[in-house]
Amino acid sequence: MKTNGDTLPNEIEVDKIKNGSARLNCAWNIAEREIEDEDGNLRTTYDYESGVIWWALPKPEYITDGSLSEAGEVYLQEHSDEILGFIQATKV
C-alpha cells in the first residue's frame, strides 16, 4: 500500500508478539520530499510503500516477557532483507 506521512518510518517495526510470532509493520521505497503547507511553510514528508506481516521467531529466546528481546532485535536486523523481500513479494 502506498503511504505518506510526516514521520520517517522504520523499515521494520514490531507491532505485537503472539504465539512465537511477531506482527511487523514494514516500510520500503522510502522517499523524502518537501511540501508547502497552507501557511506557505516547507515541511518534510515521506512517501513509501507499507504492509503488515506475521513473522515466526525461530527461537524462544527472541521473546522476553511478551516483548522482543535484544537477541530478537538482532535477529530482525540480520534478516531485514529477507523479511522486506518476502512482504514485497506478497504485494505482486
For residues 30 and 2, what is the distance between their CA atoms, to the nearest angstrom?
10
Alpha-carbon torsion (70, 59, 54, 79), positive or negative:
positive
Give the H or E element holding residue 22.
strand 21-36
Place 44 in a pLDDT band, splitting at 50, 70 and 90: very high
Whole-model pTM? Answer: 0.88
Task: List, in order, residues 6 or more apart from 69 with CB less than 8 Å away.
Answer: 61, 62, 63
pLDDT tens per residue, range 54-72: 999 999 999 999 899 999 9
Angle between helices 80-90 and 70-78 (to 10 degrees): 60
Report whether pLDDT(13) > 80: yes
